[in-house]
Amino acid sequence: MSRTARVERITKETKVLVEIDLDGTGRAEIGTGVGFYDHMLHQIARHGGFDLTVRTVGDLEIDAHHTMEDTALALGAAFDQALGDKAGIRRYGSATVPMDEVLVRAAVDLSGRPYVVHDEPVLAPYIGPVYPTSMTRHIWESFGQAARITLHVDVLRAARPGGHPDAHHVVEAQFKAVSRALREATAIDPRAAGAIPSTKGAL
């Protein structure tokens, strides 16, 4: 069965197209107009093993908020659609990812119940000229809501000796950890024989 989805989200502020294949090879075509965000979405494709296309046109003349939020919502909706009834999947996934001085843990449950817990240190306000670091939490909240998943993201270690956290490393490690957790959770479980991984019989 094909586990693919195509989602278009159009508002007065943004126009977003997301296409995903959960059983891909990590191929990505990303363009949101926010360079660092594009780099992070590439992490989801590469480390998740998903084929991913994201094209967003947003009101960047105002700021990056609507562009980043609506892209995350469309991406979450695409994950939810591609998973279908979730028969035969592992459902749970977790990953702990180091990136130099940073260590991040992510855990996901494809539960059908959106709930996001996010913990990171105070970071420099921007990465590059456009990406506001305050948006990282909102990205996970928007993605988790639309994907209907439970997601925990914890930055376990971040500070450099005698210095402040490197915002680039802190955020990138989060995206890599979430991607690896999603890879595990969305994988087909050969022992499940196509069953829904819940005693309720539905997710």
Per-residue pLDDT of the chain (203 residues; tens, 9 = 90+): 799 999 999 999 999 999 999 999 999 999 999 999 999 999 999 999 999 999 999 999 999 999 999 999 999 999 999 999 999 999 999 999 999 999 999 999 999 999 999 999 999 999 999 999 999 999 999 999 999 999 999 999 998 777 789 999 999 999 999 999 999 999 999 998 899 999 998 99
Domain CATH number, residue 66: 3.30.230.40
Is 198 inside any structural domain? no
100: domain range? 4-186
CA pair distance 106, 173, nearest whole angstrom? 10
Q: Give the pLDDT of residue 97.
A: 98
Residue 193, in any domain of the structure: no
pLDDT the model gives residue 182: 98
pLDDT of residue 161: 75
Residue 203 lies in a domain: no
Distances (CA, A) of 19 to 25, 29, 163: 14, 10, 40
Q: What is the pLDDT of residue 193?
A: 87
Beta bridge partners of 155: 104
Q: Indicate whether 145 belongs to any domain.
A: yes
Residue 52 lies in a domain: yes
Residue 197 in any domain: the answer is no
Name the one residue in this structure whose structure tokens are 């996970």.
Answer: 140
Taking residue 122's Cβ as centre, other Cβ atoms within 10 Å add up to 11
pLDDT at 188: 96
Does a structural domain hold residue 78? Answer: yes
Q: Look at the chain and report how many structural domains it folds into.
A: 1
pLDDT at 203: 92
Structure tokens at 67: 């562009």
The per-residue pLDDT for 177 is 98
Do 151 and 180 form a contact (C-beta atoms < 8 A)?
A: no
DSSP-assigned states of every residue in 38-100: HHHHHHHHHHHT-EEEEEEEE-TTT-SHHHHHHHHHHHHHHHHHHHTT-TTB--EEEEEEEET
Q: How far apart are CA 28 and CA 119, in angstroms?
A: 28
Residue type, 109: D
Secondary structure (H, E, C), 146-185: HHCCEEEEEEEECCCCCCCCCHHHHHHHHHHHHHHHHHHH
Per the domain annotation, does 61 fall within a domain? yes
Task: Please report the pLDDT score of residue 163 as a whole number.
Answer: 78
CA atoms of 101 and 158, how far apart (whole Å)? 6
